[in-house]
Amino acid sequence: MDQYVAIRDTRIALQKLIASVQDQHLVTALNGIDRALAVFHDRGIDFKEVTDHLDDSLLITDADGIVLYINLAYTKNTGITEEDVLGKDIHQLIGTDKLFTGGAVCSVLEGKKQVFRLSTTYKTEQPLMGYVVGTPLFRPDGSLRQVVACSRPIPSLRSLQDDFETFVHEVNSLKPKSINKESAKELSEGMVGRYGSLEQIGVLIDHVAPTDASILITGESGVGKEVIADEIYRRSLRNDKPYVKINCASIPAHLLESELFGYEKGAFTGANTKGKIGLFEYANNGTLMLDEIGDMSMDLQVKLLRAIQSQEITRIGGTKPIRLNIRFLALTNADLKKKVAEGGFRQDLYYRLNVIPIRVPPLRERQQDLEALCDHFIDRFSRKYSRSFHLTQRQLDYMKEYSWPGNIRELENLIEYLVLCSSGIGQVGDEMLAGLLNLDKGVLLAEEPRKPMVPAVPGLEEEIDFNAAVCAYEKQLLEYALRGSSTLQEAGKKLNLHASTVCRKIKQYQIEYGRQKRRGL
């Protein structure tokens, strides 16, 4: 752009000179120089013409914020002309009584990185809001050279509304072949705990995930049915194909059919003029997860059964069958057998979906997993909010006595709340936990307090920090148990703690467990 500006200014000066020269031979020579400059500058491409014919508004500044260029669309979309901005400091143009507010250039100048912002311009009778992307351009030495702001007014974005829904479905249906580390970690950490019935579920998933068999996952609300479905998808042979999820209870019954099967243009009043692709087509060759399948209407159950049996659908208003190759996962918290008996769910559809039944147990039946789940959510929210937190063994015991009607979802929400409320001290009082779990505070107060075990802390006879003393003693106990243990599980048994808790506390107190083992301490 420096080259563009320099040659532009040279050509402007040259053209003024040509206009003032009387000698026709000299005029011809100068015009030849002007044409040569144009060819040298553009190399056969008129970039200014290209940018001037874009619908998006472009504004370019130098590293100090001086405006170098705006394209024709910028003036068309905002009413702001070259005379208003060229050669002026962008900082002097911002303000409610000036040309615009917001924008991205100042943020890019300050942060030296791409930003996305909203901006309002005030040159027109009615202020106009636009969406702006600011991009820095750097020199070879890494210093900032220029800033390019590309914007589009909100009204023009509204014109894309007809295509936006299709665009979102397309994006959601895409599954990248190479999963990034964060998303892979999210999937691999989905199933927490391996005891009892959950261990049996893990073994069953190993056997059925690589097949195309339909699976019906049942369980109370909040037990993690979708986590099980995600695990099945992750271990399936279709894990590089689309994975489409739909909650049958969240979409009105009169819209669910069009969401699933799609429709042709003009199929009904209010339909998209271009028609619509349904979720079945988006999931083709992949996996379709139908959540809350028990809430589907009887009429739609008939069409779903036909689609599963024949592996083909017909769009609403269409006549051409569309062949499919889909693996179905159905989820519900309802008792489908009871609904079949009562006439609320088709028996043939139930047996078509229930090829592989998986019942996810409620949290009250998974007490052995409670501590591992707590550690999992504590780790997640501690990292999210940058706050350390831990539960005492007594608090974990209280939680094991609770029935957890909201299951894992309730536990997750509770841990997030506790982490947020523990700012500064890393823990909460028993009374707060009792109140949240609606436990009998009188029973808690009536419990015989455990006899405190005080470590040998220098100056104990004087004033001491109680929390520091407790932490010091806890660290001593851990170090003592670890010295005589070959594994964390063995140390945990000595302290009546879960191995994951021992691991967390090693990190909390920065105990050099690995070095101790290597040195034989």
Total number of domains in the chain: 5
Q: Are residues 345 and 412 in the same domain?
A: no
Distance CA 62, CA 93 (A): 15
Q: Are residues 150 and 236 in the same domain?
A: no
Domain boundary among 105, 139, 157: 157
H/E stretch holding 244 reads strand 243-247
Check pLDDT > 60 for residue 517. Answer: no
Residue 378: which domain range?
Answer: 364-446
pLDDT band for position 328 (cuts 50, 70, 90): very high
CATH number at residue 128: 3.30.450.20
pLDDT band for position 521 (cuts 50, 70, 90): very low
Percent of the chain with pLDDT over 70: 79
pLDDT at 236: 92
The torsion of the CA quartet 185, 190, 196, 202, rounded to 10 degrees, works out to -80
Q: Which of 103, 139, 108, 107 is nearest to 118 (CA)?
A: 103
End-to-end CA distance of the chain: 66
Q: Are residues 192 and 277 in the same domain?
A: yes
pLDDT at 475: 80
Q: Which of 387, 448, 449 is nearest to 420 (CA)?
A: 387
Domain boundary among 157, 180, 202: 157
Q: Which of 14-23, 253-262, 263-272, 406-415 has the highest mean pLDDT?
A: 406-415
Check pLDDT > 70 for residue 424. Answer: no
Q: Which of 12-16, 348-352, 428-432 has the highest mean pLDDT?
A: 348-352
How far is CA 198 from each of CA 116, 363, 365, 405, rounded to the nearest angstrom?
45, 11, 10, 18
Asked whether residue 28 is domain-assigned, the answer is: yes
pLDDT band for position 464 (cuts 50, 70, 90): low
Q: Which of 289, 277, 278 is nearest to 326 (CA)?
A: 289
CATH number at residue 373: 1.10.8.60
pLDDT band for position 516 (cuts 50, 70, 90): very low
Q: Are residues 141 and 223 in the same domain?
A: no
Domain boundary among 418, 446, 474: 446
pLDDT at 483: 76
The torsion of the CA quartet 84, 87, 90, 96, rounded to 10 degrees, works out to -20
User: What is the average pLDDT value for the chain, to the nearest integer?
Assistant: 79
Q: Are residues 10 and 141 in the same domain?
A: no
pLDDT at 217: 95
Q: Are residues 20 and 65 in the same domain?
A: no
Q: Are residues 173 and 261 in the same domain?
A: yes
Q: Are residues 192 and 240 in the same domain?
A: yes
pLDDT in tens, 174-205: 443 333 333 333 434 456 655 555 778 888 88
pTM of the model: 0.51
**Residue predicted with more confidence, 159 or 234:** 234
CB 437 within 8 A of CB 399: yes
How far is CA 205 from each of CA 180, 220, 230, 231, 287, rounded to the nearest angstrom?
23, 19, 11, 8, 15
CB 61 within 8 A of CB 74: no
Q: Locate 406 and state its tokens.
A: 């909201």
